[in-house]
Amino acid sequence: MKLFIVRKVLEANAKIADEIRRKMICSDTLLINIMSSPGSGKTALLETLIPRLQKRGVRVGVIEGDITSTRDAERLQPLNIPISQINTEPFGGDCHLGTEVILPALEPFDLEKTDIIFIENVGNLVCPAEFDTGAALNVVLISVTEGEDKPLKYPLMFRVCQHALISKIDLLSVLDFDVEFLKTNILKINPKIKISEISSKTGKGIDEFIDKLIRFSGKDDIAKSKC
């Protein structure tokens, strides 16, 4: 019996992630990877966020990731934006999006005419954090219905993200939830992470998050010499 030793399981994913980064840099397109547990409000966030970005003249596209169904993509269709759907069920029902599916999902987009592409990753606080997508910005949503200890239970997700959004804050009045304790736990895992409180239902905090995205996308410290 022959044994095949895999030197680095994620090596192939990392190589394609670098290719995706080069494509984004050359087209001046910001790729944002949004991750969370199922039901934390990723799609609701995009439904609220994208129209406000469009009003500011920002051209947006979305890569939708789910094990099965196109329900989230259907919710976003009225926004009249390009959407690329990835379903992982045909190749094993992966609980994350790897670069081997993200790269071809980028093909339908005219990157020269797209400012931001959001990846709505598969709902899971574990697997998506393990795979580099080539995104310039990783964002994690954690809703006030989930518990303040989630960052301590799933630390990798909060380590790999640059921004955490505490979602569904409109429910705080009917929940026994300590937002400041959640923030403390997030910062224990990643002291450099930025934290925002948002409500996709009321719109609270959304414009402030957009301001941060626009400032981030306007950074010009990445040279295009590799294009």
Residue 21 belongs to some domain of the structure: yes
**% of the chain residues with pLDDT over 70:** 92
Residue 156 belongs to some domain of the structure: no
DSSP lists the bridge partners of residue 141 as 36, 165
Residue 189 belongs to some domain of the structure: no
- What pLDDT shows up at residue 8? 62
Residue 132 belongs to some domain of the structure: yes
Residue 91's pLDDT band (cuts 50, 70, 90): confident
> Which one, of 75, 20, 100, lies nearest residue 86 by Cα?
100
Is 141 in contact with 41 (CB distance < 8 Å)?
A: yes
- Residue-range definition of the domain harbouring residue 59: 11-142+199-217
Is 208 in contact with 199 (CB distance < 8 Å)?
A: no
What is the distance between the alpha carbons of residues 84 and 91, in angstroms, rounded to a whole number? 17
User: Any idea which of 31-40, 57-66, 85-94, 130-139 has the lowest mean pLDDT?
Assistant: 85-94
225, pLDDT greater than 70: no
CATH number of the domain enclosing 48? 3.40.50.300
Residue 213 belongs to some domain of the structure: yes
**% of the chain residues with pLDDT over 90:** 85
Residue 169 belongs to some domain of the structure: no
What is the distance between the alpha carbons of residues 189 and 213, in angstroms, rounded to a whole number? 23
222, pLDDT greater than 60: no
7, pLDDT greater than 60: no
Q: How many domains does one find in the chain?
A: 1
What is the distance between the alpha carbons of residues 102 and 65, in angstroms, rounded to a whole number? 9
> Which one, of 56, 62, 68, lies nearest residue 31 by Cα?
62
Residue 42 belongs to some domain of the structure: yes
List strands edge to edge, sheet with 60-66.
Answer: 83-87, 60-66, 116-120, 30-36, 137-143, 163-167, 194-197
Residue 202's pLDDT band (cuts 50, 70, 90): very high
Under DSSP, the state recorded for 129 is H
Residue 17 belongs to some domain of the structure: yes
Q: pTM of this prediction?
A: 0.92
Q: What do you get for the CA distance between the two ends of the chain, in Å?
A: 45
Q: How many CB atoms lie within 10 A of CB 2?
A: 3
